Each structure stands twice: as C-alpha cells, then as structure tokens.
Homo-oligomer: A and B are copies of this chain.
Amino acid sequence: MRVDVDSAGLEVLSREQCYELVGSVPIGRIVFTEGALPAIQPVNFILDGEDVVIRTGAGSKLAAAARSAVVAFEADSYDEQTLSGWSVVLIGRAEAVGQDEHGRIAALRLTPWALGPRPHYIRIRPEIVRGRRINPWAPAV
C-alpha cells in the first residue's frame, strides 16, 4: 500500500476519500470570522454534490457571518483506543440558497437537531478540499 504522507506525518487523503469520509458523519463545524475574532459552530449538514448545505435561523450569527464570506467547513472522527482518525476541511464561499431551490433542498431531508425555526439554507461551494488521516495503519474509524 502506498500512502502519501505530509511533513507532520499525516496521510494526505484524496478528494474522493475526503468526500466519502465527510459523508459518513452527521455533524461538521463551520469556521468563520465574527467581529475580527475566529468563530466556530457545529452544524448538521448534507452534501449536495460537492457542496455542503446547512440550515440556519434568520437571526443567527452564522447567517450574518456567512453571507457571501469565505468559510471553512470541517468534519472529523477520532478513536482514542487506536489513536487514529481523520479530518477533512473544505474552504469556499458561503451563499444563501435561493427560494427557487428550497423545494429541492428540502427533499434532501436536512433535519436540524436543535429546536426552533431554521428556515434558511446556506450553501458552501468548496474551492479547497483538504484531508488528513492520522496513524493510517490503525484500523479505520
């Protein structure tokens, strides 16, 4: 098995591997800037092709910050027993999903975990896709 390893000793994942892993977890994290400070919020999400789609409330800081800003979306999984795991980061511009697309997106069944109305959808179109796996010789998690 040939494994591409970066300077930190982590396996470099292919774009295909990145999407496969992101699609295997229910929760990711949106990273953005809020009042010049770094901000991060966990979100549940769906993949719409290569785009990440999340739901949000109107008043949410997330909605404000993500309004056409460049954001990062991160998903990961770790196993403390084998000290193994992976992390994938997608970076791209966030945009509100137009009303004309709401019907199709709603059919993808993106159900927020939290209570309260979240009538808006935000799409992130990744321009950078980056994934790393730690201790790739341990069993997959």
Contacts and interface: CB of A to CB of B under 8 A. Distances in A.
Enumerate the 7 nearest inter-chain pairs by beta-carbon distance, A residue then B residue, closest first.
A9-B116, A9-B115, A38-B72, A31-B38, A83-B113, A40-B74, A42-B87
Contacts of A87: 41-42
Given A40-B74, A42-B87, A70-B38, A116 B27 contact: no
User: Chain A's interface: helix, strand, loop or mixed, by majority?
Assistant: strand
A88 B27 CA distance: 15
A26 B141 CA distance: 15
Copies, count: 2
Interface in A22-44: 26-27, 29, 31-33, 37-42
Greatest chain B CB density within 10 A among A9, A40, A80 is at A40
A116 B10 CA distance: 9
A96 interface: no
A89 B10 CA distance: 25
Interface string A82-114: 011101010100000000000000000000011
A117 to B, nearest CB: 9
B113 A134 contact: yes
Contacts of A38: 31-33, 38, 70-72, 91
